[in-house]
Structure formats: C-alpha cells, structure tokens
Structure 1
Amino acid sequence: MGHRDVATVGLGGPVGSGKTAMVKRLVPRLDDAGYNVGVIANDIMTQADAEQLQASFEGRLPEDLVAGVETGACPHTGIREDPSMNLAKIDEFTERHPDLDVVLVESGGDNLAATFNPELADYFMFVISVAEGDDIPAKRGPGVTQADLLVINKKDLAPYVDADLDLMERDSERVRGEEPTVFTNCKTEEGIDEVVDLIERSVLFA
C-alpha cells in the first residue's frame, strides 16, 4: 500500500496562525467519525510540534501514526519542492497500518507563498490568523488564492486587533471565487465542524 491509497490533507500557513491547534481539533472529530488518522508535523530543526501532538493524541492514535519531519531548510522544501521525506513517512504509515484512511500533513510555519505539491496533498488548507491583519486575503498570496480551503482562524481576536471580518470575507470571495473560506476559533471549536465536513466531502467521500 502506498501514498495514493490514503487521502492526504495539507495544512499550511504562517507562524502562529493556529495550524497545530487546528490539527488538535480535527483529529478527534475524524477519529470519532470512524476514520483512521495519521499526522505528520513538519519543522526545520525540531520535533517540538510532533511531540506536542503525540502527547495530545496519546490513547487516541497509535504513537507510530504521529511523526515529525525535520526539513533542515525552508518549510517550502518539504511540502512543495521536494516532498520525498513526507511521502516516505506516509509510506511507513501505510505499511504499518494498511487500514489508514487519511494523513494530515502540517507544514512548518511559513509565509503567504506556501503551497503543497499535489503529489503530497490531495486537499490543501491554508490557515491564516485574524491577528495578522484583515488585509491578508486582499494580498492574494499563493496560499490564499490556490488553497482548496482558506481558514481564517482566531476570529475572536478581531475586536482586539481592529480586524474587519466582513472585509476579510468579501476579499476572500473576490480573490478565491467559489472556493470555500471558513472562519474558525479553535478555542471554542467554532467552525471546526464545517472544516471537517469539507474534508469529508472533498477527499474522504469522493
């Protein structure tokens, strides 16, 4: 069994946008829905995110289905230019767990140009934070415009950073056309069910 026998969902976005928090919310829902889930956390020189996720999912996911990949270079390298390390890790997952349904691949913190190689991710989510500025969608970065799903996270911070959520929604619709955008708050889990529904309909029910 190889990569093409399991669905893969990439999560990209800038540092601090909430990618790891998003993974922590998605995994229990997918697991409770009956899917067998694997998780890969990319970073440049550390296993910190992977270790954090292993602790979070202890008792829920097998330990060998939560792994880290150290790219040793720009985060783009491991998810776009040369995804071989991630693909090898997915192959390890599927060899040990042939009933695996989906692997979430979290990129290291990156900028608005981050995108996933289609050989690595069947479905690409780009996560931004309201705290980064309400002009982010209007800047038309490749992550924003090319992602299958744009997630605008930390919506609860909008009043504190003078962010206009209506403006972000309008700009997202303008630059993304019919591709979906979801506002989320990982603390209260607002919007998470909608994200899971989109993943299911796009890559698990397809």
Structure 2
Amino acid sequence: MPDVVRAQEVSSRRALRLGVCGPVGTGKTSILALLCRELAGELSVAVVTNDIYTDEDARILRSAGVLAPERIRAVETGACPHTAIRDDVTANLLAVEDLEADFDPVDLVLVESGGDNLTATFSPALVDAQVFVLDVAGGGDVARKGGPGIARADLLVVNKTDLAPYVGVDVERMVADGSAARDGRPVVALSRTDPGSVAALVGWVRGQVRAHREGALVPQDPGPMAPHHHGDGVVHAHP
C-alpha cells in the first residue's frame, strides 16, 4: 500500500484534534466545558489541558461533570505554555494518543493551551485545527493588535460578550476589527447565555469534525508572526 494511502487511512480513524489557546482569563476552560456539554451526547470527546505547575484546569472540568473524569488528562508543562503546544509538543501528543487508545474510537480531542500571549499558536503536528480566544474584558482594542492567533487561527472567538456593557466595549467594533485582521476567516462573538452564539460555535466544531472525517481538513500552520507594520505604513510579512 502506498505510504500516502496508509497515512490517509490512519488519519480517518483517529480523532479530530482541536486546539484552544489565548491569553490568561479569556475563558478557554469555560469554552471547553461548553463544547463538552453540547457535544458529548453525539460524539466521543476527550480533553487535554495544559498548566505550568498544576492540573487546575483539568480539575475544574472534572468537577463540572461535563465528561467522565478519566477522559480529561492534564499536562503540566513546567515552562512557557507556548513551548508545549508549538516548540516541543511531545507531552501533549502523548496525552492525546493515550486518550485515543484508551477510548477508541474518539471523535474529538480538545487540547487547551495554558494562558499565553498573542503570539501563541499550536503546531500542526499537534492539532488539526485551532481556535484563538479573546474576551471583551481584555479590552476592545485587542483584536486590532494582531498576532498569528488572531490573524490566522481557524476560528477567532470574541468571548464574554455579555460583559461588554460593564467594561465599555463595542462588541460589533471588536468583531469587525478581528474580521478585518483575518482576511475572511470566521469570527464568533460568544456568550454562554446567548443560545445563538453557542449554536454558532458548536456548529463550527461539528463542521470541522465532518471535514476531518471526509479527509477534507488540511491543518494549517498559523506561523510565528502575522503580517504587521511598525508605523511606517509598510506591511512586513515574515515566513
């Protein structure tokens, strides 16, 4: 059997690996809990969390009762979260593969990065698609600041939109800024209290699972730096 065919068959059997990253406090763990609640009844789901020195996020998810506790594994990175999701993905990759083996077949593995800055992206060696999370409480101008996650992740989530009136943020403007930075890639404005936005996020994830099953999903590398400028009006792009 040609190597290409063999690789395609292996890929079709394993889970979709979906990474979720973004700055500290943007609501990544809450989004994982939401996705588990919404999808666990129809898909076989597992989760890998990342923290530097603790298993706090894994314990939060287990206590929420969104999945069987053994389907939630914690990776303690011991270093910058970015390192464990991009530079040396070994610990995370082993955790994902162990979950896939223990609960075969698994449809979806959610991999949550520890909180990092705007440069954080997953290696395509670890995940098939990735979500970058911002929240309105972090400031309405953040989406304009760019970075590879904002500009190139498969989905940008502007989270906690229900807080906008309390922090003086124009959600429509923030979403528009994010959309402008993303060259047509999708943006979801999310509040856990808004069924329409929850449905939009869950629908996008379902679409990624379907594309993966059909062999139509090709992992993209957001790269280390998005196109940007230094105030000189010239756009600088780094390979």
TM-score (structure 2 length as normaliser) = 0.80
Distance 1:15 1:61 in 2: 23
Q: In structure 2, list runs of 5 or more residues that go unmatched.
A: 1-8, 215-239
Distance 1:74 1:188 in 2: 34
For 1:126-164, what per-residue CA distance to the aligned partner results, in whole angstroms no more than 9, with x for missing partners? 111101111111111211011100000011111111111
Distance 1:87 1:175 in 2: 30
Corresponding residue of 1:148: 154
Alignment of 1:43 with 2:51, yes or no, is: yes
Name the structure, 1 or 2, with higher relative contact order (CA <8 Å, separation 6+). 1
Contact 1:172–1:181 (CA under 8 A) maintained in structure 2: yes
Corresponding residue of 2:98: 92
Question: 1:196 offset after TM fit, Å?
Answer: 1.2
Larger radius of gyration: 2
Corresponding residue of 2:6: none
Contact 1:40–1:66 (CA under 8 A) maintained in structure 2: yes
Q: In structure 1, list runs of 5 or more residues that go unmatched.
A: none
Question: 1:102 offset after TM fit, Å?
Answer: 0.6
Distance 2:11 2:125 in 1: 9
Distance 2:20 2:166 in 1: 26
Contact 2:107–2:209 (CA under 8 A) maintained in structure 1: no
The change in CA–CA distance for 1:166 and 1:197 in structure 2 (over 3 A counts) is same
The residue type equivalent to 1:162 in the other structure is G
Corresponding residue of 2:185: 179
Alignment of 1:9 with 2:18, yes or no, is: yes
Corresponding residue of 2:63: 55
2:125 aligns to what SS in structure 1? Answer: coil
**Percent identity over paired residues:** 40
Contact 1:2–1:94 (CA under 8 A) maintained in structure 2: no
Q: Which moved more, 1:188-197 or 1:77-86?
A: 188-197
Question: 1:175 offset after TM fit, Å?
Answer: 0.8
- State how 1:184-199 maps to structure 2 within 5 Å: 184-188=190-194, 191-199=197-205
- State how 1:73-152 maps to structure 2 within 5 Å: 73-152=79-158
Alignment of 1:64 with 2:70, yes or no, is: yes
RMSD in angstroms over aligned alpha carbons?
1.8
1:191 aligns to what SS in structure 2? Answer: helix
Distance 2:98 2:56 in 1: 21
For 1:26-76, what per-residue CA distance to the aligned partner results, in whole angstroms no more than 9, with x for missing partners? 0011112x100001110000011101111212xx53322101000000000
Contact 1:2–1:95 (CA under 8 A) maintained in structure 2: no
Question: 1:166 offset after TM fit, Å?
Answer: 2.0
1:99 aligns to what SS in structure 2? Answer: coil
**How many residues align structurally?**
203
Corresponding residue of 1:28: 37
